[in-house]
Amino acid sequence: MLEVKFYPGEGLEVNDLFQAYMTAKKYIYQSPRGKEIFDALEDNLNQKTVLHVDPTTDSTFQHQVASIKFDAYWNPIKLFKLKPKGIQSPALGLIHELGHALQCQTKLAWYEERSTGERYLEIEEDNVATNETPIAIHKNEPVRIQYRDFIGANWFTGRAFTGMSLQQKVIYSQK
């Protein structure tokens, strides 16, 4: 089951965040892998993923060992800068975090064995390769070769984004 909660902030109200989520979902759902991820999370009644849509936090994923409840956090107004160049959309940030929920849903023991220490990078590399990259390729967005090809997350600032709607920002990327 996928439950979505919205937290107003940064001048965005619940309806704005709902629209941003629906825009990102529609964008991601156009990819076969994106559709698989959303369908698997929404259809599973044995595990619950709570997606927190919050423009004041970082996109991240949390799970408690031996739990069947997972928390994914998504900031719909943060871009993801990659090296050597490129910017991934906030929508890909969403699917990256939901990809972790799918990892837990489909291979929980594997995930928990790697959830601490140096092996944690295996979780991230698997998520990038299995979930994020196929969607990035399908949507013609920049691709991370490895998880650490991430420079940082930035807010939409500057003249280039003036007048851009929230729905446009959610799916904005640059190669």
DSSP conformation class of 158? S
Residue 41 makes CB contacts below 8 A (sequence gap 6+) with 1, 2, 49, 98, 101, 102, 105
Angstrom distance (rounded) from CA 53 to CA 32:
23
Cα-to-chain-centroid distance, residue 103: 13
Q: pLDDT band at 110, cuts 50/70/90?
A: very high
Question: Considering the chain, what percentage of its residues have pLDDT values greater than 70?
Answer: 91
Number of structural domains found in the chain: 1
**pLDDT at residue 160 above 60?**
no
Domain-embedded: residue 152:
yes
pLDDT score of 161 more than 80 = no
The structure tokens 């890909």 sit at 92
Cβ atoms within 10 Å, residue 57: 14
pLDDT, residue 152, reads 66
Q: Does residue 86 have a pLDDT over 80? A: yes
Calculate mean pLDDT across residues 78-82: 86
Residue 75 resides in a domain: yes
24-38, 52-66, 103-117, 132-146 — most confident range: 24-38
Domain that holds residue 134: 2-170
Q: Give pLDDT tens digits for 6-58.
A: 999 999 999 999 999 999 999 999 999 999 999 999 999 888 999 999 999 98
pLDDT at 156: 63
What is the model's pTM?
0.91
Confidence label for 81 from pLDDT (cuts 50, 70 and 90):
confident
Give the pLDDT of residue 162. Answer: 66
Q: Which residue has the tokens 């595990």?
A: 47
User: What does the block give as tokens for 39?
Assistant: 């369908």
Return all residues near 10 (Cβ < 8 A) that are at least 6 apart. 55, 56, 77
Q: Residue 175 falls within a domain, yes or no?
A: no
